[in-house]
Chain A
Amino acid sequence: MIGYYISLAMRSLRGTPILSALMIAAIAVGVGASMTVLTLNYMMSQNALEHKDSVLYAVQLDSWDPNQAADTANEIPWQLTYPDAIALLRSDIPTRQVAMHRFGFTVNIDESELRPFTANTRVTTRDFFSLFDVPFEYGGTWNKEADTAAVQSVVLSKETNDKLFGGENSVGKIVKLNGEPFTVIGVLKHWNPSPKIYDLNNNPFADSEELYIPFGLHRKFEIYSWGNTNGWTSRTAEGAEGYERFLLGEHVWIQYWVELDNAEQREAYEQFLTGHIHQQKEQGRFERPLKFALSPPSEWLVLNEVLENDNRVLGWASLAFLLVCVINAVALLLAKFLRKAPEAGVRRALGASRNAIFTQHLIESSCIGVLGGLFGIILALAGLTGIRVLAMGQADQIAAMNWEMMLAAVGLAILASILAGLYPAWRISRTNPSVYLKTQ
């Protein structure tokens, strides 16, 4: 009977094209608007490291100003100072650990017509790739020594390798970074998580870096941070000058992650962090009450308010708008169905039960929902395209609809149209057929 009801629905829609178009438009506009916002919120809420939620932790240490707490959700700086990062790297408790930050190099290769270009670079320890499940196309990461010694190795993203070497295996080739030769030791497969959970401090929806170089190169190249850097005093770097003063001062710019596979390991690491803070306190640092945090990826996303309250409010507002559209659709459906009440009366006389009439009309409203959903997807895609254009490339990752969201759009449209159709379908199924049989 479902097929029969669908054919009746399509016939009915064709029979009242203007009214049908208005209802489809009402659903489509509501779904288009809400799916535009919900898609943004959904994409912002993605957690590519959900499967590591029980073992992966972002590390925060409260080394901040004793007179004023850090301006973060948990009042602990998001990032670490360089001396703390170096100290933490000496621990052998975590299975893996990563100290890293954002930087940039001018890139070129000898005997190439390619013009030099600036590449976003991640300065990191070797575990970055395994910790964040970064896939390699060619080669691999550097040796452990490169985390502390100046080894001029580089890992290229797929896009950079395509640009520099046409996508071929470039392991062993030389790339010039700021004019200095670096040996390519690895090439990644396409990898571009959004939000960029490992670095939420520098636009969580930006593309992943184009180059990856070892953490041990700081002093040789005087690598500052291209990312968010905050400091409150250089007192601890007294006597030091220039770059060394930056490294040793109370500037937080290093992001730190650890992998702790079980509760014992986590407890041991917490004791290690407590010991480190006590040790630093003895040296006049960490003047605030002892405080640190180990946050798994899901918590880290919430703490960093990747999905801001404004987005949530906008999400609810878009659903409220959809509700308004649904209410409009209810009125239109009611008008349409009641106009067809005589036909329902005839069908009742010919053996249709109330449930059959109800189902027939609910399926008709669902068909309107499917069509509204399809048009809604087109409107949502147009809305997201508009957002991408307005954001000038900053929202390319999140203002995009995947298949899941397209299915969700159709589902939302069907749900909306079923809700819109419930009352009209119920009304028509409850009308007394004999009234219409005599008067038709």
Chain B
Amino acid sequence: MLKMQNIRKSYRTDTIETHALRDFSLEVNEGEFVSVTGPSGSGKTTFLNIAGLLETPTGGQYLLDGQEVGNLSDSERSRLRNEKIGFIFQGFNLIPDLNLFDNIDVPLRYRGFNAKERRRRIEKSLEQVGLSARAKHLPAQLSGGQQQRVAIARALAGEPRFLLADEPTGNLDSLMARQVMELLEFINEWGTTIVMVTHDPELARRAQRNIQIVDGQVSDLRQTIAQPEAAIA
């Protein structure tokens, strides 16, 4: 599904060059649920941005679904991102002046679906996260957990094969975090590949595999065997 080889990413200012990722290599298989941990500033978010085609690496090779994405134009990368990748952010990133229906509509608009198909997908994804009755509410009228569920619904509406979650429970209390985590596990069971960045070791253990990033490199590739119920307990 995702294959990175010797990925490098550096940011340059007038005086300093910072290496966010150095010879970063990783492979994520179809249907996997992978957690990514590491200290702050280790390069987790940079990895996620590159994986989500929001940033381009300085060097190395990135294959997404077997396709080399390094030389794609912005339009091609955007289309690929829209069709294959779903994002879930720590801060939810819902558009505040759009109601839930219109928020979930955003990626579907860029996909070019007709109105009927968009409505079908929006209603279905709202139903999946249990918020059908709140379609006309604004994000500010929802709790944090509900907002994150809307964000998940928005990510799911396009039926992506690859879900990237950047600390999806970071802004939630433990109960909400558990609900969101269960939802992600449920989504993974449908076959969606998930890569989740988290600081929470318990959540990381619930993934099938954990990757630790330190100083822009993969330092540990550990298989996580623990069952979700066991981890929460």
- Taking residues whose C-beta sits less than 8 angstroms from the other chain, chain A's interface range is 20 to 34
Stretch at the interface among A215-223, A270-278, A348-356, A380-388: A348-356
Interface pair B110/A438, CB less than 8 Å apart = no
Stretch at the interface among B49-57, B186-194, B217-225: B49-57
A343 at the interface (CB under 8 A from B): yes
What string of 1s and 0s marks CB contacts (under 8 Å) between A399-440 and chain B?
000000000000000000000000000000000111001111
A190 at the interface (CB under 8 A from B): no
B14 at the interface (CB under 8 A from A): no
- Tell me whether A350 and B97 are in contact in the complex, defined as CB-CB below 8 angstroms, given that A4-B109, A434-B54 are known contacts: no
Interface pair A350/B91, CB less than 8 Å apart = no
Interface pair B54/A350, CB less than 8 Å apart = no
Main secondary structure of the interface of A (DSSP, over half): helix
* From A343, A349, A440, contact of B87 by CB (8 A): A349
Task: Count CB-based A-B contacts (< 8 Å).
Answer: 74
A11 at the interface (CB under 8 A from B): yes
In the complex, which residues 70-95 of chain B have their Cβ closer than 8 Å to any Cβ of chain A?
A: 74-75, 77-79, 81-83, 87, 89-91, 93-95
Smallest beta-carbon distance B72→chain A, Å: 11
Interface pair B106/A350, CB less than 8 Å apart = yes
Which residues of chain B come closer than 8 Å to A1, judged between CB atoms? 109
Which residues of chain B come closer than 8 Å to A432, judged between CB atoms? 54-55
Which residues of chain A come closer than 8 Å to B94, judged between CB atoms? 346
* From A350, A352, A433, A434, contact of B45 by CB (8 A): A434
In the complex, which residues 336-392 of chain A have their Cβ closer than 8 Å to any Cβ of chain B?
A: 342-343, 345-356
Interface pair A437/B93, CB less than 8 Å apart = yes
Which residues of chain A come closer than 8 Å to B82, judged between CB atoms? 350-352
What string of 1s and 0s marks CB contacts (under 8 Å) between A1-28 and chain B?
1001000000100010000000000000
Smallest beta-carbon distance B147→chain A, Å: 12
Smallest beta-carbon distance A98→chain B, Å: 66
B107 at the interface (CB under 8 A from A): yes
User: Quick one: closest A residue to B82, CB to CB?
Assistant: A351
* From A349, A353, A438, contact of B74 by CB (8 A): A353
B154 at the interface (CB under 8 A from A): yes
- Tell me whether A349 and B91 are in contact in the complex, defined as CB-CB below 8 angstroms, given that A355-B75, A356-B110, A434-B49 are known contacts: no
Interface pair B75/A353, CB less than 8 Å apart = yes
* From A15, A345, A350, contact of B110 by CB (8 A): A350
Interface pair B79/A351, CB less than 8 Å apart = yes
* From A4, A351, A437, A438, contact of B78 by CB (8 A): A351
User: Quick one: closest A residue to B167, CB to CB?
Assistant: A438
Which residues of chain A come closer than 8 Å to B81, judged between CB atoms? 349-351
Interface pair B93/A351, CB less than 8 Å apart = no
Interface pair A433/B78, CB less than 8 Å apart = no
- Residue of A347, A349, A353, A432 contacting most chain B CB atoms (<10 Å): A349
* From A346, A354, A355, A356, contact of B93 by CB (8 A): A346
Which residues of chain B come closer than 8 Å to A4, judged between CB atoms? 109
The CA of A212 and the CA of B60, in the complex, are separated in Å by 90
What string of 1s and 0s marks CB contacts (under 8 Å) between B91-135 and chain A?
101110110000000110111000000000000000000000000
**7 cross-chain CB contacts under 8 A:** A351-B79, A351-B107, A352-B110, A433-B54, A437-B87, A437-B166, A438-B89
By a beta-carbon cutoff of 8 Å, the part of chain B in contact with chain A is 45, 49, 52, 54-55, 74-75, 77-79, 81-83, 87, 89-91, 93-95, 97-98, 106-107, 109-111, 154, 158, 166
